[in-house]
Amino acid sequence: MNITVDADKCCGAGQCVLLAPDVFDQNEDDGIVVLLDATPPEALRAAVREAAEVCPAAAITVEERP
């Protein structure tokens, strides 16, 4: 799995941080997403997929490759 985030689209909702705090964080200043781990371990992937789906700005893209 490879994750990319589009900081320009992010609205700072923090839904991703609620779902996968080991993978996403928010900038202290403007709340924009900070990607902590672009290739998270298996155990976190379901939460990351859900985060990409629920992100209200469609700012998270997940590439499923081995």
Partner 1 sequence: MTVPADVLVVGASAGGLAVAEALRRQGHRGGLTVLGAEPHPPYDRPPLSKQVLRGAWERERAHLRSAEQLGALEAEFILGDAAVRLDVAAREVLTASGRTLRADAVVLATGVTPCRLPGQDGLAGVHVLRTLDDALALREHLLAGPRLVVVGEGVLGAEVAASARGMGLDVTLAGLGPAVLADQLGDRIGGALTRLHAERGVGLRLGAAVRELTGSGGRVTGVRLATGELLPADAVVVAVGARPATGWLAGSGLRVDDGVVCDARCRAAPGVYAVGDVASWHHEGLGRRLRLENRTNAVEQAQVVAAGILGGDRPYVPVPYFWTDQYDVKIQAYGLPSAAAEVEVAEGDPEDGRFVALYREGGAVTGVLGWNMAKAARLRRPLVAGTMTLAAAPAVNVSTRA
Which helix (H) or strand (E) is 62 found in, with range?
strand 60-63
Q: Please, what's the largest Cα pairwise distance for the chain?
A: 35
9: Cβ contacts below 8 Å, ≥ 6 apart: 57, 58, 59
Binding mask 4-43 for ligand SF4 (x = CB under 6 A): -x----xxxxxxx-------x-x------x----------
User: Min. distance of Cβ 13 from partner 1 in angstroms?
Assistant: 6
Identify what 38 binds: ligand SF4, partner 1, none; CB under 5 to 8 Å per kind.
none
**Total residues binding ligand SF4 (CB under 6 A):** 16
